[in-house]
A and B are shown apart, each in its own frame.
Chain A
Amino acid sequence: MVFASCRTESYDPEYAELRIQVLHNCGNGPLLYDTLIYQNAAGESYQVEHLEYYISGITLYGSNGSRYHDDGIYYVNARENPQMIIHLDSIAPGSYYRMTCNVGIDSNRNEYGYLPNTMENAGMAWPEFMGGGYHFIKLEGHFQGAALWGFAVHLGSDSVLPTCSTNSQLALKYINHTATLTMDVNEWFQNPHTYSFINDGNYTMGNQLLMGKIRDNGSDIFSLQQNN
């Protein structure tokens, strides 16, 4: 009985659960706000003041070919709620090698009134005159040009929905697993496009070309680390 109680490794429930904490880095360390200490790939110093977005369409890819898909749409306000947790349940135990998700909301659900009418969702509304739905992300701050200047990276409209992918090994054997999903804010400005606030633009909303660059850069902004 004593030995059996210590053998947690072999526990294999019908379903596993995964609690994902969403964190935000910029470069090599945790994201600090209002501090002009970051540099994008174009060599421009910048600071972050505001970051809110949605995560949706979380999908885990099993080593045996299976897939787990979560229908949830999660609002993240990085500054005001830095302890954001996403709870995934009813996951088939096993090994997973990849996770994908959207930053924003897929076209089937990106329409005015789809989300509960909360203050947060109301503030993320994308104007009907511009196609409706919701902002996918609002990332705002200042950068150092000739003077300290503002930037606002806003994405919305279906064609610029970023799909993010991270190759991370997950071994889900138990009821309660935890993991950390970390966004590197600096990745929004590089790979494949080196994004310059000065040369490309400091404001993306309504500019399909700029929003497209940011969308492409968003493919590798996340890393996922299993904690237990």
Chain B
Amino acid sequence: MKTATITKRIIVVSLILFTLIYSCRKEEVSEPQPPALTPYEVVYPGWIPQLPENGANPMTVEGVALGRRLYYDTLLSNNGQSCSSCHNQNLSFSDSTVNSLPHINLGWNFAFLWNGHVQGTLEDAMMFEVEQFFQTDISRLNASTFYRAEFKKVFRTEVITSREVAFALAQFVRSIVTFDSRFDRYMGFVEMLNMQELSGYSIFNSERGDCFHCHPVGLFTDNRFHNNGLDSVYNPQTWGVYGETGDPSDMGKYKTPSLRNVALTAPYMHDGRFATLEDVVMFYNTGVNITSTVDPIMTKPNHVYGLNLSVQEMSDLVAFLRCLTDTSLAGNPAYSNPW
């Protein structure tokens, strides 16, 4: 009899507890869920190396759109500048005044800026831009009703931090791909290059010109750092990677820029010392300085006194380089100013 009473009490207490617990969960269930995000797919030819993914920042249509807003927004800086101030869409997202590296195909990169100041992912690079280059006042973004709503939609966050800003920018910059040059169409068997361009391609991709070791066909950059013999004497303006690492073997090394759209990105080299592609080719043909840290490729026997290309061959090489221009990039509405 006594046991039955205890059992009843246990059942009653359990029911009360269950009811209480269940009633506490009611609010969570009824809270409206944010709309699902749409995955964004970066499209590029199959012969291009696979685009590395960043699982921590999966690309979405909404994230790319938010990054695009930020890219063109002067709110990011404290001096009226935006990313697009130094990365002009008409110039393959570079700028002739500050000689900025183009913001194209950066998703394949893992070292950024001419001297490799930022290593890692595109998110790391954008974090540098937000926190160090722009020193963005995040409170201004948090004060914006538009941005608060957009960041909440994309990153499910109530408070915007540098991290979300960098991630959104990274998504947009990662979306900027350019693979619709005449050379791409040649590779896709839909367009022929003329004889001069083919000659230039042959020079580019053979021991004769030997461009391919640092600019392998595809992305046209090896994403590494080399001393290409620009200088015989170094100063802080020409230290390159050495300025970052302090390692003497890094003296004069700079990032290999992609040659895609190179005809749009004058002037050339890290300090913009060459105004034209013809100047660049002439430098490699006759002007390389041999120092203790110059890249070994630059000291091959037939390069000691330059490439020894004829005037015609230099012209052919430039003609090929001009085939790497994607004329559709400048007018691509997916990358243009959304404001």
Question: Which residues of A pack against B, CB within 8 Å?
Answer: 33-34, 49-50, 113, 116-119, 121-123, 125, 127-130, 140-142, 147-152, 201-203, 205-206
Contact = CB atoms under 8 A, between A and B. Distances in A.
B216 A116 contact: no
Given A34-B247, A119-B223, A151-B296, A129 B205 contact: yes
Interface range for B:
20 to 34
Given A117-B50, A127-B212, A148-B292, A122 B218 contact: yes
A55 to B, nearest CB: 21
B266 interface: no
Contact of A116 (B50, B247, B290, B299): B50
B216 A150 contact: no
A142 B216 contact: no
B301 A150 contact: no
A202 B205 contact: no
A208 B50 CA distance: 33
Contact of B296 (A34, A119, A140): A140
B219 interface: yes
Given A119-B223, A122-B219, A142 B212 contact: no
A150 B294 contact: yes
Contacts of B47: 113, 117
A199 to B, nearest CB: 12
20 contacts: A34-B249, A49-B249, A117-B50, A118-B50, A119-B52, A121-B49, A125-B216, A127-B206, A128-B205, A142-B292, A147-B292, A148-B292, A151-B299, A152-B296, A152-B297, A152-B300, A201-B301, A202-B299, A202-B300, A203-B301
Given A127-B206, A150-B294, A119 B300 contact: no
B32 interface: no
A34 B296 CA distance: 12
Contacts of A116: 50
Contacts of A123: 216, 222
B46 A130 contact: no
Contacts of A128: 205
B220 to A, nearest CB: 10
B278 interface: no
A117 B44 CA distance: 12
A116 B249 CA distance: 32
Contacts of B205: 127-129
Interface in B141-178: none
A130 B207 contact: yes
Contact of A202 (B207, B217, B301): B301
Interface string B197-226: 000001001110000100011110011000
A205 B207 contact: yes
Given A117-B50, A125-B216, A129-B202, A150 B296 contact: yes
Contacts of A49: 249, 296
A206 B249 CA distance: 27
A125 B219 CA distance: 13
A31 B108 CA distance: 29
Nearest to B203: A129
A150 B222 contact: no
B297 A150 contact: yes
A203 B297 CA distance: 8
Nearest to A47: B249
